[in-house]
Structure 1
Amino acid sequence: MTPYAMLLGDRMAALPPACRALHAGFGAFEGRIAVTPADAGALRLLARAVGLPRAARDVPFRLVTEADGQGARWTREIGITRMVSRLDATKDGLLAERLGLIRVDTRLVPEAGGLRLGAERVMMLGVPLPRALWPRVAAREWQEAGLYRFDVSIALPLLGRLVSYTGHLHTMPARNVGTLAQPSQDL
């Protein structure tokens, strides 16, 4: 079972079909993405150091989700850049995503037409950061024109945007592309 399915439980049924298709099982999905990097060079270097994607304008996007112990591994291929993170359901009902040295625990908040992720805890090297130092993460997903749509923005306090990205994936079985694996339910 995916961490999203574990955390949402019966609330999965309220998600739009494209969102349910991505989070109900594991698989590979293709679409398009645009990535806007930080304005300042030092912030772009920091973004690269923690594994965030480089600038990209309407490039191919491939997401592969696979079981990894009790959690999941998400591999995002954005143009020529690869971003890998590990997701787990925490004991206190949050989605923990590890990317490089950073772990962000978010609450999954179903809302009309989709899902919003709200940061609840941020750690670096396993040490909780004070809220004043947390990156500001705004993330949401929804269905539009049969596509899974997403919009993510990450900014640092006082310094500004670290990265933002938006795009879509084909998650519906009839729309999944080429030889990609269809999402599967865990038994």
Structure 2
Amino acid sequence: MHCVERWFGEGFAELHPLLQQLHREGGDLHGQVELQLGKGLAGKLGARLAAHLGIPMDRPQIPLKVNIHSSGDTLHWNRHFADAASMYSSFQPHGGWPDGYWIESTGGVRLALAVDVRQGGWYWRPLKAWVHGVRVPLWLLPRTEAYKRIDAGRYHFHVGFSLPLLGLLFSYSGALQLTP
């Protein structure tokens, strides 16, 4: 049994069948993603954050490939943005759904993320954060909104970063197809 299915337990059935399949079998997704920068100071901060992550913001759309697979008790998301950057994240499960969480590790940042299931979609909810091993209050970091759901048979996802009072820093989102 895949680590995602174990973590969700009976709640796994609440995910859309295509999300269930993706997390049971793993797979490669591909497609175009839309990039959006905030306005004014928020946009300048968003451009710096995107550059730090290696995401090219010089055009409104870029190709994205995502490989999703598990090894043992770890879920892996390997994202490849255009020809510019790769972002590797590993997720370690803690507890079980609905009260448990996942620890996402991406570079020097670790996030504890709960999962809310809405209409078959998977919505991340940040709980805690660490930067280079130091616990950081969430209010000091950009707010993160991230989800994956199925729309018209495609894997739709959204990742956005914002700050109170300033609004949107940047986001990327799109509808990806499973590579046969």
The reply to whether TM is greater than 0.5 is yes
Alignment of 1:83 with 2:90, yes or no, is: no
CA distance in 2, matches of 1:67, 1:14: 20
What amino acid does structure 2 have at the position aligned with 1:133?
L
Say whether the 8 Å CA contact 2:160–2:171 is kept in structure 1: yes
Q: Is the 8 A contact 1:61 1:79 kept in 2?
A: yes
Give the distance between the partners of 1:29 and 1:45, measured in 2 at CA: 27
Q: CA RMSD in A?
A: 2.4
CA distance in 1, matches of 2:19, 2:30: 14
Which of the pair is proportionally richer in helix?
2
Is residue 104 of structure 2 the alignment partner of residue 97 of structure 1?
A: yes
The 1:2–1:101 alpha-carbon spacing in structure 2 relative to 1, beyond 3 Å, is farther
In 2, distance between residues paired with 1:19 and 1:167? 16
Which amino acid counterpart does residue 54 of structure 1 have in structure 2? P
2:22 maps to 22
SS at match of 1:12: helix
* 1:30 partner SS: strand
1:66 is the counterpart of 2:35: no
Distance 1:3 1:136, change over 3 A: farther
Which whole-Å CA distance do the structure 1 matches of 2:165 and 2:101 have between them? 27
User: What displacement does 1:17 show?
Assistant: 2.0
The answer to whether 1:54 aligns with 2:81 is: no
State which drifts further: 118-127 or 23-32.
23-32
CA 1:7–1:63: 2 relative to 1, 3 Å: same
Aligned residue in 2 for 1:134: 141
Deviation at 1:68, TM superposition (A): 4.5
TM normalised by structure 2 equals 0.80
- Asked if the contact 1:67–1:73 (Cα under 8 Å) also holds between the matched residues in 2, the reply is yes
Classify the secondary structure of the residue corresponding to 2:25: coil
Percent pairwise identity: 26
Runs of 4+ in 1 over 6 A off after TM superposition: none
User: Which sections of structure 2, spanning at least 5 residues, go unmatched?
Assistant: none
Task: Give 1:94 deviation, angstroms.
Answer: 0.8
Change (3 A) 1:2 1:119: farther
Give the partner amino acid of 2:88: V
- Could you tell me which runs of 5 or more consecutive residues in structure 1 were left unpaired when the two chains were aligned: 178-187
The amino acid of 1:9's aligned partner reads: G
Residue correspondences, number: 172
The structure-2 alpha-carbon separation of the partners of 1:69 and 1:20, relative to structure 1 and needing over 3 Å to count, comes to closer
Show the 5 A alignment for 1:33-48.
33-37=33-37, 39=39, 40-48=43-51
